Structure 1
């Protein structure tokens, strides 16, 4: 399964509320993520608003497309968009920047 890492920027003045919302992610949103192929999904928030996400998926583009078809995702993204900067009119699920993986310990062990 492929690993993906991405970044977004949460408005510093909204970080506490953003974190609070993620302590109670709707069960139907969690189910939709699982059902559309998102695995081992985590979010990390730095004190200046930098948000790093990590997810594993067989195909991230397919998982994103499947999520985009769900009603619960449309509701969630509409509520979450207000927390971010730099989206240029896109939703958070469309506006994140993917990071390039340059090292993974288990990959190094497998090639040794």
Structure 2
């Protein structure tokens, strides 16, 4: 069964173009890992006013990119993105899972 997950993150000021550039050239091994994890859809939207990123994933039951913190590919990606995003001490993005309050099918 598919589930929908949403979370938000934040870019550092002035990093929108660099964020787009890096995601347009997402590493093939990271893309494959996400698909193998059960993520069939993954969209990220940008709010210019707050520098916030809103992410949406459609996942197999129990799957999420948020559960890949020990994977070396993911850790390498975090290190690569750390200079343009708000991150924790391990370079993981500071993210907040959002509660779904409405869905129209």
Gaps of 5+ in 2: none
The structure carrying a bigger helix percent of its residues is 1
Question: 1:89-111: per-residue Cα shift (whole Å, max 9, x none)?
Answer: 2501xx310111111111xxxxx
Contact map agreement 1:32 1:70 (CA 8 A) in 2: no
Q: Cα gap change, 1:47/1:97 in structure 2, threshold over 3 Å: closer, same or farther?
A: same
- Is structure 2 residue 62 aligned with structure 1 residue 59? yes
Q: What is the total number of aligned residue pairs between the two structures?
A: 101
- Is structure 2 residue 20 aligned with structure 1 residue 19? yes
Question: 1:11-50: per-residue Cα shift (whole Å, max 9, x none)?
Answer: 1211110111111101111001111122211111121311
Gaps of 5+ in 1: 107-112
Q: Secondary structure at the match of 1:105?
A: coil
- Is structure 2 residue 82 aligned with structure 1 residue 81? yes
**1:83 offset after TM fit, Å?**
1.5
TM-score (norm 2): 0.84
**1:74 offset after TM fit, Å?**
1.4
User: 1:1-112 counterparts in 2 under 5 A?
Assistant: 1-48=2-49, 49-57=51-59, 58-60=61-63, 64-65=66-67, 67-85=68-86, 87-90=87-90, 91-92=92-93, 95-106=94-105
TM-score (norm 1): 0.79
